[in-house]
Amino acid sequence: MLIFESLSAGMIAVLLVLAAVLVLVGIYTGVVWPITKWDLAFAHPAKYRLWAERTLWLIFAAGSGLGFWYFSGAAFREKPAGRAGNTQPRIPQLPSAGQGGAVPRLK
């Protein structure tokens, strides 16, 4: 069940990226193309196929990993408390009257 939910999160990530690309293409065709008449006729998508495939697989893997992290509950576990370390103050303190020394007075 956890694997199914994680892979579903990866697919949702891919779908969100594809939806964002669709919105960007819509903006391009609605704004840039009518103004410039630049229709990308000389852009060959075959040159970008390998890059696009690797990008989509990377997005799927990242989404699946984040889905696994979220659905496994690791996102909600408390972190172990760190060591206290040195608890001594960094600024030297003046002796107080209760420790047998006189408190110096400032003029």
Q: Where are the domains of the chain?
A: 2-76
pLDDT of residue 57: 95
Q: How many CB atoms lie within 10 A of CB 85?
A: 6
What is the Cα–Cα distance from 44 to 103, expressed in whole angstroms? 83
pLDDT of residue 29: 87
pLDDT of residue 33: 82
pLDDT of residue 8: 93
pLDDT of residue 104: 61
Below-50 pLDDT ranges, the chain: none
pLDDT of residue 50: 94
Torsion of CA 74, 14, 3, 62, to 10 degrees: -40
pLDDT of residue 44: 85
pLDDT of residue 20: 97
What is the Cα–Cα distance from 24 to 18, expressed in whole angstroms? 10
